Structure 1
Amino acid sequence: MLSTKEKSVHININSTYYGAIAEIGGGQETARHLFQAGGASNTVAKSISAYDKLFSDHFYNQGTSSRYVAEDRLRKMLDYEYDELIEILDKKNTQKFFAFANTVETLNFSKTNQGNGWLGIAVEGTDRYSPNKMFIHVKLHENDTLLQQYTLGTLGINLIYGGLFQWQDPQSILLSLLDNLDTDRVEVDYIYVEGPDMKLVDNRLLNLMLVNNDMTPAIMFDQSGKVQQPSDMLYKKNVIVLRGYFRPINNLGMEFIEDSLDFFKRDENYKPDNTIAFCEISLKYLMQNEKVDEKDFLHRVDLLNMMGQSVMVSKFYRYFQLVKYFGQFKLIKLRIVVGLPAFDKILDSENYTDLRGGLLESMGALFQEHVKIYLYPYIDARSGEVVYPDDDHFSKENKLLWQYLNAIKKILVLKSIAPKNLEIRSEHISELIENGDDSFANYVPDKVFQHIKNNGLFGYNRNNKN
């Protein structure tokens, strides 16, 4: 791994690029590295920090006002700086062009905010007038403004170095973003690439790499499958989360989501445009032989999007970790849809031996003020009867806890689920698909059935049919 100074020297001396650097909110930390390395005249055509909001609007927003630390502002900064290079130097400079920009909110004097920012680079590839672009969003975890500035400078150099020398391989750029850094200092929770040479890059897979490489704990896709930055997607929203394998989404999962939404519509805070339902997949459910099965992952996301669902992938195992993650966003309310078997595991004290407060500590972390659980029953495999949660279902040590959570209305039982759908088992559906048995159509939405059959997903092969 090259040091930040070595990368800066390499950019100045060995690259064939010439460009502009625009930084707002965290000083000119990236440009500083290049100037201190020496030979910056070979690389830097311009360095600017339009720190005043009116100056920023004048250059990058045509004199109007909008959010300053946002992807839209970053895009305008990159477009402006790259277009200016073309306008002034196109006929006078034979080097390739690049533009780097960031717009950042560092820690304020009172330390009452979360440092975060957007960084991006536009790099000339095969088309001088249509550059390839990469955008990332980061959270700054250090509790000191100066340290955050140092981190930004290192991160900026990593992005420029990757953009200039590895622009044909976005995955390598991603993996090098935290060179000379670590996740205690900075978190990269969003990445997006575009451009004439990036048409074959799937941004969903790039973002999955962020989770798989511990660069962020979770990523999100909207109903159309587009990658979304979590803070933007969740700001002042009600959130309903259903965890599962979703291989594929089945009728029971769809009924859970629909019933949960119908239940939540009775809440005074509900509005169609402020409520999001997520199908959340734990990273461990995507692993095959200790590696992520990328095709399998994309198939699951495609089918969920086909059914109008937003998707979340996380590295969380325990439910209270999921709640803690959502707690950093300004949510209105959080509702988690849980089956009774999973809820029994939540109440199992053996799962919390690593916590000093054990089960009670986990309950305090899980049932925060804005959180409730929507609990649904299950079918007893032996009797075939629907088992609803009641006092007799729980062990003696958990009965009082169950009664307390009910008394304060932290748990709401969904009783409208059709018994025939409660019999659905993901393992059984997977077995039918792999055997080419079309009777799995009885357990999944028709569109899902047709898509799996027509495209041979999840091991479906009609030739396997007995």
Structure 2
Amino acid sequence: RGSFRPVTYATNDMLDGARRQFLQESGCDESDVVVLMEMTLENLLAEGQLNHADFLARVDILGALGRTVLISKFGEYYRLAAYLTRYTSKMVGLVMGVPSLMEIFDEKYYLNLEGGILEALGRMFKGALKLYVYPMIDEATGKIVTARQINVAPNLKSLFQFILDNNFIAEIADYHCEYLAIFPPDALAKLQTGDSGWEKMVPPEVTQIIKERGFFGYRRSSAAA
């Protein structure tokens, strides 16, 4: 799951690392693995309004990269998990960054559930599902933060440890440290303001299609003008 606005080197690094780990742990053959780039329709609500063109631009870019796109209506991860496990009895892996894992352990997202976060996590992990979590850089300290190092509310620490102890969460261990400093919002801001630095943050195929089709409010840099 992601916003893919735009796809960066970090996006591909996260997915590639998770894929290698998933193949080792699941025992599946490469040909049996289906990789889906999922976006929820809730991401259409950018800046308080529906932006269909922006959303479809992300689909076009992922398609150009040879990725299979799944557009869902599931805002919560446990609902996405239930949908995916409905169609397979084999292992399912959800790939995400540390910030998304922190959101999963934020109780405010489950106020509509009678059982709260316990119900949500019970639904999520009742099948053969595992989270593969990409580390992040703490911008305040410059240190790498992994899945096991996130801070959760005191009343959730035992629950979080239970999830870890039962191997429902795996840290993506094979990654490129230099890509951790790439943040899609930074790349987006640069491409919209004519700063060519964004081109170093995304794969060449992504650069080409954004320039050719003017996606995401792309502006040519003054140096290239």
Conserved? CA contact 1:433–1:460, under 8 Å? yes
2:26 aligned with 1:246: no
Partner of 1:341: 99
Matched pairs, number: 224
5 Å-filtered alignment, 1:29-108, equals none
Structure 1 residue 296: deviation in Å? 2.4
2:174 aligned with 1:416: yes
Structure 1 residue 390: deviation in Å? 3.0
**Cα-to-partner distance string for 1:38-69 (whole Å, 9 max, x where unaligned):** xxxxxxxxxxxxxxxxxxxxxxxxxxxxxxxx
Of 132, 157, 161, 1:403 maps to 161
CA distance in 1 between partners of 2:111 and 2:214 (Å) = 44
CA distance in 2 between partners of 1:373 and 1:392 (Å) = 14
CA distance in 2 between partners of 1:251 and 1:391 (Å) = 24
**Cα-to-partner distance string for 1:316-339 (whole Å, 9 max, x where unaligned):** 111001012123213412110122
Bigger CA radius of gyration: 1
CA distance in 2 between partners of 1:413 and 1:284 (Å) = 27
Normalized per residue, the structure richer in helix is 2
Partner of 1:319: 77
**Residue 464 to residue 415, structure 1, CA distance change in 2 (3 Å):** same
**Residue 331 to residue 445, structure 1, CA distance change in 2 (3 Å):** farther
Q: Which runs of 5+ in 1 are unaligned?
A: 1-242
**Cα-to-partner distance string for 1:162-210 (whole Å, 9 max, x where unaligned):** xxxxxxxxxxxxxxxxxxxxxxxxxxxxxxxxxxxxxxxxxxxxxxxxx
Superposition CA RMSD, Å = 2.1
Query: Equivalent residue of 2:147, what SS?
Result: coil
Partner of 2:139: 381
State the identity %: 29
Structure 1 residue 419: deviation in Å? 2.4
**Residue 421 to residue 268, structure 1, CA distance change in 2 (3 Å):** closer
Partner of 2:64: 306
Conserved? CA contact 2:26–2:91, under 8 Å? no
Partner of 2:213: 455
Partner of 1:364: 122
Partner of 2:29: 271
CA distance in 1 between partners of 2:13 and 2:26 (Å) = 23
CA distance in 2 between partners of 1:381 and 1:285 (Å) = 25
CA distance in 1 between partners of 2:216 and 2:114 (Å) = 42
**Cα-to-partner distance string for 1:6-25 (whole Å, 9 max, x where unaligned):** xxxxxxxxxxxxxxxxxxxx
Structure 2 length as normaliser, TM-score?
0.90
Of 185, 188, 211, 1:427 maps to 185
Conserved? CA contact 1:335–1:371, under 8 Å? yes
Structure scoring higher RCO (CA < 8 A, sep ≥ 6) equals: 2
Query: Equivalent residue of 1:390, what SS?
Result: helix
Query: Which amino acid is the alignment partner of residue 340 of structure 1?
Result: V
Query: Which amino acid is the alignment partner of residue 43 of structure 2?
Result: Y
Q: Which runs of 5+ in 2 are unaligned?
A: none
Conserved? CA contact 2:195–2:221, under 8 Å? no
Query: Which amino acid is the alignment partner of residue 8 of structure 2?
Result: N
CA distance in 1 between partners of 2:150 and 2:14 (Å) = 24
